Chain A
Amino acid sequence: MAIILSEAEAKALLQKVLAYSKADECEITLQGEQRGNIRYARNEVSTSGSLVNQNLAVKSSFGKKTGIATIDEFSDESFEKVVRRSEELAKLAPENPEFMSIIGPQKYLSSKGYFESTAAVNPDSRAAAVGKSLELSRAQNLTAAGFLENETGFSAMMNSKGLFAYYPSTSVNFSLTVRTPDGTGSGYVARGYSDFSKLDTAAATRIAIAKSKGSVGAKALEPGKYTVILEPTAAAVLLENIFFRMDARSADEGRSFLSKQGGTTKLGEKIVDERVNIYSDPLNPDLPASPYSGDGMPQKRMNWIEKGVVKNMYYNRYWAQKKGVEPVPFPNNMIMEGGTASLEDMIKSTKQGILVTKLWYIRTVDPQTLLLTGLTRDGTFYIENGKIKHPVKNFRFNESPVIMLNNLETLGKPERVVSTESERNYMIPPMKIREFTFSSLSDAV
């Protein structure tokens, strides 16, 4: 049997498994994936591989007791066995006071995240894509280390209340670090697409090469507060810390950056500059995402921060019921609106500042203020009178993305980026920020 099932095949299989259920309620999820990767360093291929995986999970409930069992072996015999096992586990489980009954049929948006071009990738086409990149770095006597991974998968779910959902998807992620042979320059690029035909490894490589050569001879600047231009790759790893922590329950419980004095939350309050608009949308053509969440809730366009105001937080179904509001699932993508300025325009309009192309090792220092620390990496440059003057040594920063978005100067045009921390893809604009806090220097290149 194929690993990647069509909608009709997935539906037939799920119906067959569901027919075995004797529980009060039953929900089945089905997933399959095929992945391949190629990794290289020192201009040579190092480790590479492929993986095939499939999984079917059955959740059975009796009253408020739930059991989950899964299999990765697909046969009629194992289907009945996995249903029985989940029912046995449910009977043994403690009652869950936060139990929520499964939901009935839903209407989902139609989002195209599956591309034949990506599904057709094989070891030879992967090697060819990487070959184009290696050729360029070798020709200039630079040292390349990179990674290319393609994935084809699908997920489907069905339950005893009649819900059915199906979503096939593909993705390809490419990242590359190019270093000068003496180790004094380093440049990075990352690209993520659903459609492999959009990936131009040579064009991406030229960007990393330019940053690598341009970062040689970095000068030390005093740590302190600077105007910075964050390229989208750098901004994403800071902003996702806001995205991850917009959970209503934590805010209500008083343990979130969205909690307020007196036991209330910042929902409906302006927390950042009014030009900040952040939303999710499974139909975004540049960043398509699954139209349903893990519990079958439909994903639709949702504003999280609108004109700087917190418009929504995530409410799981239990917490929503407790608070008497509509549940809001954790979104499957995140998009920050921007302006029309190009990165070049933003540099041109900067009297004195620092261009940050990538940030690294981001960790939360204080969850109360979302204070984060981390360092610049792979190309940091000093801007003077509208021009890149010279590369600068890397800095450690201590800054909160909330404070940062209050110190907003300009937003550029959003582009799809891959988080170097979470590997998630986002649409993020480049942004100019004043008074960004660098606290010490690093000798790292």
Chain B
Amino acid sequence: MKRRDFIQLAGLGTGAFMLPGLAMGRTVSPEALMEPGLDVSVKKRLADAALNAAKSQGATYADVRIGRYLNQFVVTREDKVQNIVNTESYGVGVRVIANGCWGFAAVADAKNEAQMAKAAADAVAIAKANSKLMKEPVQLAPQKGFGEVSWKAPIKINAFEVPIKEKVDLLLSVNAAAMQNGANFVNSIMFQVNEQKYFASTDGSYIDQDIHRIFPQFNVTAIDPKSGTFKTRNALSSPMGMGYDYLQTNPADKVTGITTRYNKGYDMLEDAISAAKQAKEKLTAKSVEAGKYDLILDPSHLWLTIHESVGHPLELDRVLGYEANYAGTSFATLDKWQSKNFQYGSKEVNLIADKQQVGSLGAVGWDDEGVNTKKWDLVKDGVLVNYQATRDQVHILGEKESQGCCYADSWSSVQFQRMPNVSLAAGKTPLSVDDMIKDVKKGIYIIGDGSFSIDQQRYNFQFGGQLFYEIKDGKIVGMLNDVAYQSNTQEFWNSCSKVCDERDYRLGGSFSDGKGQPSQSSAVSHGSSTARFDGVNVINTARKI
């Protein structure tokens, strides 16, 4: 999330949910979310006004994004609806190159040619002012224009068409189920996003796209007032590039085992019941003994480790130093890639970038600078083979065309390099989770994502989780508390000894990955099957204050 756009809801305790502030746009009635945006012909006329103005002011390249961003949040706690928020944000961002330098200007509620021309002129003025500081002009990879085209996310049920009452009823029933099963508190939220984006550029593209995302989540708290301790368990849901169909439960989408996990259909009620019981169980679970363990990581957990230790370090803008002042740089420097033998991970490790994966958060037809999306290898058989790039950087990789990794989180934000979906390929040899656990002598099975932190070059990381189970001599023997593991990216991925097959493959994801200044948020999925990592350092996080 863009930090300043969100205010923390006071009083939710840990795992507090966020609510939108001013910059999310206007709040509107639910019906307004169903109103169509501007007609494509109007958008084309407005876009042309900006493109023409930019060119006449001296821009050598210009693109325009006309964006309508819809959000709906339904926020509840226990038996109360706390908030129902519908927001709509509409505006235009114009990006130009003038005197070899980028310039950008955004204007809210732009609905006439004069506003478009003014934004274009402002962007050119910024580019010209800043060009005095430039030594190397921007080098933009050529991109053919696609003419007038469109892309729509293949959703089955538009979440914005589902009555709010149905969502409120679901959340309140989820809360009631959690309370009945031993929770002291429960907060739940349904978060839905629809991005209606129109892109046009001086390359001759006019691209209309309709993108949907959904994220149902909850946080259950169990308290032992006597000892003054509390434990939480978050939902095992994932944010998805889906419609309300994600909440249509289907036995085929359930992965049973020590606790049930979910694929493309999430049973929120069932998960809340498990969560309440498990939060209570955590109150008395054994505190982990620090040391080396073999880790079995469920996809509901591993996605975040992939995100932080593979997704981010392979962003080319970070590698080059464009994020040095904020998100950081990367250990995965160009010389390692050029050597063609940098062993990022073990031979089991194949990491794939994919902007087309159905149901994922990152799937689109074209990126935010008019490049058609693709799928490519980042790490093949353990070796680093590629990065993620945009048009102004891809020449550094010797590529002729961008990989299509450009994104802006709003019409008001300038587009820049953002992570595509990055996933660990499923193992090629048939292997179930049960079979994987059978071989483990001293291990911990981790489900769900928890605390996460990694250094600015993506070497040293520490991850927590939601559920930790101790494995002894091939069997799960009980729940553990106070677990976090620390490792180094290269060491960790080289310790990957097994990956379950595609039957276990599921998507996890980040709904609000932060990067850039001003900070922007993006949503991205990470798929994997359960994987095993040998001899990882586990610390005990219990303290007394």
Answer whether A and B are interacting partners: yes
Query: Hey, which bits of chain A sit against chain B, CB under 8 A?
Result: 31, 33, 35-55, 57, 68-73, 85, 88-89, 93-94, 96-98, 123-124, 126-127, 130-131, 134, 143, 145-147, 149, 175-177, 179, 183, 186, 188, 244, 247, 249-250, 253-257, 259-263, 271, 314, 316, 319, 330, 360-371, 373-375, 377, 394, 396, 398, 400, 402-403, 422-423, 439-445
B84 within 8 Å of A by Cβ?
A: yes
Q: Is the CB of A316 within 8 A of B11?
A: yes
Q: Is the CB of B126 within 8 A of A48?
A: yes
B322 within 8 Å of A by Cβ?
A: yes
Q: Is the CB of A127 within 8 A of B23?
A: no
Q: Is the CB of A147 within 8 A of B326?
A: yes
Q: Is the CB of A41 within 8 A of B324?
A: yes
B162 within 8 Å of A by Cβ?
A: no
Q: Of A50, A53, A360, which is within 8 A of B105 by CB?
A: A50
Segment at the A interface, from B129-137, B440-448, B494-502:
B129-137
Q: Is the CB of B4 within 8 A of A423?
A: yes
* Cα(A250)–Cα(B451), bound, Å: 20
Q: Is the CB of B543 within 8 A of A400?
A: yes
Task: Return the chain A residue nearest B77 by Cβ.
Answer: A98
* B15 CB, min distance to chain A CBs, angstroms: 8
Within 8 A of A (CB), among B317-351: 320-326, 328-329, 331
Can you show 12 pairs from A to B with CB atoms below 8 A apart? A41-B325, A47-B414, A49-B414, A51-B106, A53-B412, A72-B26, A96-B82, A130-B133, A188-B325, A367-B232, A371-B541, A403-B545
Residues from chain B with a CB closer than 8 A to the CB of A176 are: 325
* Cα(A126)–Cα(B25), bound, Å: 27
* A211 CB, min distance to chain B CBs, angstroms: 13
Task: Return the chain A residue nearest B104 by Cβ.
Answer: A49
* A329 CB, min distance to chain B CBs, angstroms: 10
Q: Is the CB of B81 within 8 A of A69?
A: no
Residues from chain B with a CB closer than 8 A to the CB of A396 are: 453, 455, 460, 462, 486
A363-B322 contact in complex given A127-B133, A247-B10, A255-B223, C-beta closer than 8 Å: no
B108 within 8 Å of A by Cβ?
A: yes
* B168 CB, min distance to chain A CBs, angstroms: 7
Q: Is the CB of B185 within 8 A of A94?
A: no
* Cα(A330)–Cα(B129), bound, Å: 40
A48-B102, A123-B129, A444-B459 are known contacts; what are 14 more A-B pairs with Cβ within 8 Å?
Answer: A43-B135, A45-B130, A69-B27, A123-B125, A176-B325, A250-B13, A255-B13, A256-B13, A262-B226, A361-B454, A366-B543, A367-B14, A396-B486, A443-B457
Q: Is the CB of A423 within 8 A of B225?
A: no
* Cα(A442)–Cα(B324), bound, Å: 17
Q: Of A88, A96, A253, A398, which is within 8 A of B541 by CB?
A: A398
* Cα(A314)–Cα(B122), bound, Å: 43
Task: Return the chain B residue nearest A252 by Cβ.
Answer: B11
Number of A-B residue pairs having CB atoms within 8 Å of each other in the complex:
273
Residues from chain B with a CB closer than 8 A to the CB of A263 are: 225, 228
* Cα(A177)–Cα(B327), bound, Å: 11
* A375 CB, min distance to chain B CBs, angstroms: 5
Q: Is the CB of B26 within 8 A of A45?
A: no
B544 within 8 Å of A by Cβ?
A: yes
* Cα(A185)–Cα(B433), bound, Å: 45
Residues from chain B with a CB closer than 8 A to the CB of A364 are: 14, 451
Query: Hey, which bits of chain B sit against chain A, CB under 8 A?
Result: 3-4, 8, 10-14, 22-23, 25-29, 80-82, 84-85, 93, 101-109, 122-123, 125-126, 129-136, 168, 184-185, 221, 223, 225-230, 232, 320-326, 328-329, 331, 412, 414, 416, 451-460, 462, 464, 482, 484, 486, 488, 516-519, 537, 539, 541-545
Residues from chain B with a CB closer than 8 A to the CB of A316 are: 10-11
* Cα(A186)–Cα(B229), bound, Å: 41
Q: Is the CB of A330 within 8 A of B451?
A: no
* Cα(A319)–Cα(B331), bound, Å: 49
5 closest A-B pairs by CB: A49-B104, A261-B228, A442-B460, A255-B13, A145-B324
Residues from chain A with a CB closer than 8 A to the CB of B226 are: 261-262
Residues from chain A with a CB closer than 8 A to the CB of B414 are: 47-49
Residues from chain A with a CB closer than 8 A to the CB of B221 are: 255
Residues from chain A with a CB closer than 8 A to the CB of B543 are: 366, 369, 371, 400, 403
* B70 CB, min distance to chain A CBs, angstroms: 14
Q: Is the CB of B453 within 8 A of A363?
A: yes
A70-B101 contact in complex given A31-B22, A98-B80, A123-B126, C-beta closer than 8 Å: no
Residues from chain B with a CB closer than 8 A to the CB of A445 are: 457
Residues from chain B with a CB closer than 8 A to the CB of A423 are: 3-4, 519
Residues from chain B with a CB closer than 8 A to the CB of A48 are: 102-104, 126, 130, 414
Q: Is the CB of A72 within 8 A of B455?
A: no
Residues from chain A with a CB closer than 8 A to the CB of B323 are: 41, 145
Residues from chain A with a CB closer than 8 A to the CB of B129 are: 123-124, 126-127
Q: Of A54, A57, A361, A442, which is within 8 A of B459 by CB?
A: A442
Task: Return the chain B residue nearest A260 by Cβ.
Answer: B228
Residues from chain B with a CB closer than 8 A to the CB of A398 are: 462, 539, 541
Residues from chain A with a CB closer than 8 A to the CB of B230 are: 254-255, 259, 367-368
* Cα(A312)–Cα(B452), bound, Å: 31
Q: Is the CB of B133 within 8 A of A365?
A: no
